[in-house]
Structure 1
Amino acid sequence: MHQPYYREGLAGAYHLPWVYLHGIKDYSDMAAHLERCPAMRAVVNFAPVLLEQLDDYAQQLDAMLKTGVPTQDHMLNFLAGIEPIPTDAAARLALIQACQRCHAPRMIHPHPAFHRLLRMIGATDEAGIGIHGMQWHLSYLSEQYFLDLLTWYHLAWLGHSLKQTPLAQRLLTQEQDYSAVDRRELLSLMQGCLAGLIPRYRVLADRGQIELSVTPYGHPIVPLLNDFRNMRDAQPDAPAPTADGYPGGAERSRWHLQEGIAVFEHYFGRKPQGVWLSEGGVSRDALTQLDEFEIRWTASGEGVWRHSFAQSGSTDAELASKHSLFSPAQVDGTQTRLFFRDDGLSDLIGFKYSDWHSDDAVGDFIQHLENIAALWGDKADKKVVSVILDGENAWEYYPDNGHFFLDALYCALSKHTALRMTTFAEQAKNAPAIPLKHLSAGSWVYGSFSTWIGSDDKNRGWDYLVAAKRAYDRVVAAGSLNSEQLALATRQLGVCEGSDWFWWFGDYNPSGSVSDFEQLFRTQLRMLYRLIGVVPPPQLEVELSHGGGRAANAGTMRRNVG
């Protein structure tokens, strides 16, 4: 579970609402599924910057409800009535488009009143209403229209478990004319959910049902911070950024690991045994750094497994059997155990089962697991099948946020006599590890780092970041920052080093999403320059990437092929 830092700088306005929206939908529902099925076991990974933002949203909403102080998220302020509905056509259009940011077939169309509000002004599923010729149309819409639209948008984003509460049921049935009291009650429901998320997962971990793990603080791609040459294992001929490498990158990786573990300990009261390196991005130098922090396990994808075992001497027949996929590996010279994602099983959940009847999907999934177990016979109890996917993005493509599928899956897995649910920490201790001579650096996406480096727009993003880091280094070396200023600048640098900015650069993602993230990346860099007292360079005013593609389930884990 992760979201990048959506605020402007460390304490400014939120530019995108995904932390609180996924909080009231996916993070809440994922906890509810586990709470309903206590025999189920799982590993739940949190990015530290997500934990901080969930906590911040809960506090800001609490303050707004108690004292009326606005939050730093315009959508919440509009919903509360603290910020007035805009009167100009451009701002009204932007608000309507913001209220369409969801998967319409599963989140708008099932609610006729919500769908009707959008159809009546000619809006499409792609937020396709244009400003030209529409100014008179938008100006005639009443304030209540926008308040109802905002209410419906947030009702649609409620997870299945929150939708079952008496308040949500009443508001869903009411359909229109939502009053200030109605909207305040909805905001209170959302605040209670967000405030309770971290404690709920801590309780699940305290009773041994789940293992909690963490990523490095700002969700950076650690192997790329360490050395740009780590891209060469899987992208030997791809163009690289202009700089030879990220200056002081290994030191920055250690900072992200140390700070991430500290944030995790603050919220969960324990040190994590596992670190999911951002995007499953692994390399030998990254594993060595995990050893320094006495981390027991990490994990990556099937592409990394295939490349690594091929380069370590496995034959084509051995790779075709996938036998080594189902055991943790221990890379020569390192201690941290490395697990590998079963891409086929994981992608069935992430991309295919959303269109199936839940019973058929669960039956198919378990049949695959039984087939794997049968291959091993009496040795199956020493084998591990790793199913790893996003904790948020897949579920809006399922009916009812995946409620029926996940409940049926958890129940079936928990009761199965030949399949045992477990955690990586337990298997890092109990499952025999396979020695691995060579680790091919890569991620869980295609076994490479191509999603973050190696194309023009992505490399340009790295060049911008390298320039900012060099400016930071010069100012730090000059000693011109006091301890508080240095701490703020260092944390802001950590935000700029996050992986998500580079994920979006390129032409395969939708232009609107690319624009959101590339603008925020440039904003974060400008903020870093200001914190160190340096004038931001002029190129930060120029759009970095345009996008224009229509990637499947854009923004989610990429489907692995081959």
Structure 2
Amino acid sequence: MSKPLDLVFLWHMHQPDYRDYASGEFLLPWVYLHAMKDYSDMASHFERHPKMRAVVNFVPILLDQLEDYEQQFASNEIRDPLLRLLERDNLDGLSTAEHKFILDSCFRSNHTKMIAPYPAYKRLHDLFRTLEAAGDATLSYLSGQYMADLLTWYHLVWCGESVRREHEVVVQLMSKGEGFDANDREQLFEVIGQVVSGIIPRYRKLAESGQIEISATPHYHPLAPLLLNLNSARESTPYSSLPQSQCYPGGRSRVAAHLTSALESHQKRFGTKPQGIWPAEGAVSTALLEVLAEHDCQWAASGETVLANSLRAASSSLPDRTRYLYRPYHISGASQKVHCFFRDDRLSDLIGFEYSRWHGRDAALHFVAQIEEIARKSASGDSPVVSVILDGENAWEYYPYNGFYFLDDLYAALEDHPVINPTTYGDYLAQHGKQGSFDFDREGKLPGLVAGSWVYGTFSTWIGSPDKDRAWDLLCMAKQSYDMVIGSKNLSKAERIAAEQQLSSCESSDWFWWFGDYNPSHAVESFDRLYRHNLIHLYHLLKLPAPAVLNHPLSHGGRGNEVEAGGAMRRGS
């Protein structure tokens, strides 16, 4: 009989800030689309399986935007252009720009799983491709009815499987297939409003019941170790190129500000302080753990390769991974009270990249067998804890039915498993506590961390190439201007708050993620444009002229759609 084993899933929910603070408009629709499809489905799986336990990590800037959409639906003052078009009564009089915007937006879905299975939607796509091949001018022949059908189908396929099962109107519209009128689109719009507005209350209820633990990330998802020290990139990749800037000015105070804001956000929304922090991109360093310790964070997590690099730095060799991976660690010094967990990259990547090609039940049973094998191999007296950490939103569009059958079978298999105990980090620490504090004999000890992330154990996804380094230099330059203007005290309190909010958005890791010729050009173009727009607006708020270089793209991409998972996820190793 295998020994008992604790299993912690951490589902990371995140989108960067897509708002133009000058106009209040949403420039990209991914927050409400993932709410319809993924955040709703993930909540539904927990509701269907009340004995399933997990950690759900919400980045505060995502919650800010979900609440923004909730307010839009309540007031019917819609500031997302795609949603506005969906509910417009008459689509016959579209402007040229609106016409192009719909065509550019409404085929941005996984073709195999989200377009091809629906004959009516596929016909719209095939017609578009035929006309596009004949030249852009022919696209103007597409009618208002075509645009109505395209907008409707795009939103229908972004409805999660749980939404389809719980809202009859979605099935009715999918059965209708074409000829959608204003009333059809209004009904779909109302469903979207109900789903999006219900996301935060549903997860709050799950947390209050004790079924999930909700953790947080520093507010705008900054790459904190690099804000603290740009040279930390060379701890894992010694010969990495770096920006010309020697450091990010005032980085420690900026990390602390993001973290303080996140803790306040969590307290306000969920009525309690989060026990744990998932740092943006699982990016950690010894310096970051010290900041987390100062804010009384109990736990943090990162990638397996970060742990392996840190163990090699301490002892030059590694035992079998089953002997070091499945336990928490603490770091010597001021950060000792932060318990560090490290994901099993192989298991996490099976869900993120491999199981989408399997039959759902086969994948679920295979995963459970992998966990059972870890339990079987664990040493006598061990209390292994296996961490499976990945995006809770980006993998599912590559699965049939948005991963519904895989997750349903997986959770069902785990709920009453005799060996595997699905739990949370908070409960694991409480269970293995010793007179009110954790028994450090159960933990591994490290003299320090080799700084890195959950992607390859390095920071190469965000720094170390010409376009990424240039983007960092532009951010450092903007921060120097920010410090100069704020220090002069020439801005009003309201103006200082607006400038700080804009700076926070510029510090998000997401902009740097997408720079690089290995990413699809359409995604790089969108994020490049938004990053430069954010920096330009920051200079505007500081009442300074923006550098002319911000008028030109920093990166172009170029790999089309061949990048794995569309570039939105990376493997751990």
Q: Shorter-chain-normalised TM-score: which range? A: over 0.9
Q: How does 1:341-490 map to 2 (within 5 A)?
A: 341-376=343-378, 378-380=380-382, 382-431=383-432, 432-490=442-500
Determine the C-alpha separation between the residues in 2 that align with 1:314 and 1:45. Answer: 34
| Superposition deviation, residue 297 in structure 1 | 0.3
Residue 53 of structure 2 corresponds to residue 51 of structure 1: no
2:39 paired residue number: 27
Determine the C-alpha separation between the residues in 1 that align with 2:27 and 2:321. Answer: 47
2:132 paired residue number: 129
Determine the C-alpha separation between the residues in 1 that align with 2:283 and 2:467. Answer: 20
Determine the C-alpha separation between the residues in 2 that align with 1:361 and 1:422. Answer: 21
Q: CA, structure 1 residues 244+447, in 2 after alignment: closer, same or farther (shift >3 Å)? A: same
2:528 paired residue number: 518
2:53 paired residue number: 41
Letter in 1 for 2:55: V
1:100 paired residue number: 107
RCO higher in structure (CA 8 A, sep ≥6): 2
CA contact (8 A) 2:92 2:143 kept: no
| Superposition deviation, residue 377 in structure 1 | 5.2
Determine the C-alpha separation between the residues in 1 that align with 2:180 and 2:525. Answer: 33
1:77 paired residue number: 84
Per the alignment, in what secondary structure is the counterpart of residue 445 of structure 2? strand
Q: CA, structure 1 residues 482+85, in 2 after alignment: closer, same or farther (shift >3 Å)? A: farther
| Superposition deviation, residue 280 in structure 1 | 0.4
Deviations 1:105-134 (A, max 9, x none): 1111111111111212326xxxx936x724
Determine the C-alpha separation between the residues in 1 that align with 2:70 and 2:358. Answer: 36
Determine the C-alpha separation between the residues in 2 that align with 1:281 and 1:287. Answer: 10
Determine the C-alpha separation between the residues in 2 that align with 1:408 and 1:235. Answer: 40
Q: How does 1:263-278 map to 2 (within 5 A)?
A: 263-278=265-280
2:552 paired residue number: 542
Deviations 1:73-107 (A, max 9, x none): 11111111168566465652442131001101111
Letter in 1 for 2:520: P
1:182 paired residue number: 184
Percent identity among equivalent residues? 45
Residue 513 of structure 2 corresponds to residue 503 of structure 1: yes
CA contact (8 A) 1:87 1:139 kept: no
| Superposition deviation, residue 261 in structure 1 | 1.2
Letter in 1 for 2:276: G
Determine the C-alpha separation between the residues in 1 that align with 2:496 and 2:358. Answer: 53
Determine the C-alpha separation between the residues in 2 that align with 1:451 and 1:365. Answer: 28
| Superposition deviation, residue 530 in structure 1 | 0.8
| Superposition deviation, residue 10 in structure 1 | 6.4
Normalised by the length of structure 2, the TM-score is 0.93
Determine the C-alpha separation between the residues in 1 that align with 2:456 and 2:317. Answer: 20
Q: CA, structure 1 residues 12+222, in 2 after alignment: closer, same or farther (shift >3 Å)? A: same
Determine the C-alpha separation between the residues in 1 that align with 2:567 and 2:25. Answer: 22
| Superposition deviation, residue 59 in structure 1 | 1.3
Deviations 1:454-480 (A, max 9, x none): 110000000010111011000011110
| Superposition deviation, residue 483 in structure 1 | 1.0
The farther-off stretch of 21-30 and 354-363 is 354-363
Letter in 2 for 1:212: I
| Superposition deviation, residue 284 in structure 1 | 0.6
Residue 24 of structure 2 corresponds to residue 3 of structure 1: no
Determine the C-alpha separation between the residues in 2 that align with 1:242 and 1:161. Answer: 49
Give aligned pairs, total.
547
The farther-off stretch of 256-265 and 153-162 is 256-265
1:558 paired residue number: 570
CA contact (8 A) 1:29 1:160 kept: yes
Deviations 1:519-548 (A, max 9, x none): 000000011111111111111101110111
Q: CA, structure 1 residues 263+86, in 2 after alignment: closer, same or farther (shift >3 Å)? A: farther
Per the alignment, in what secondary structure is the counterpart of residue 213 of structure 2? strand
Q: For structure 1, which runs of at least 5 residues remain unmatched after alignment? A: none
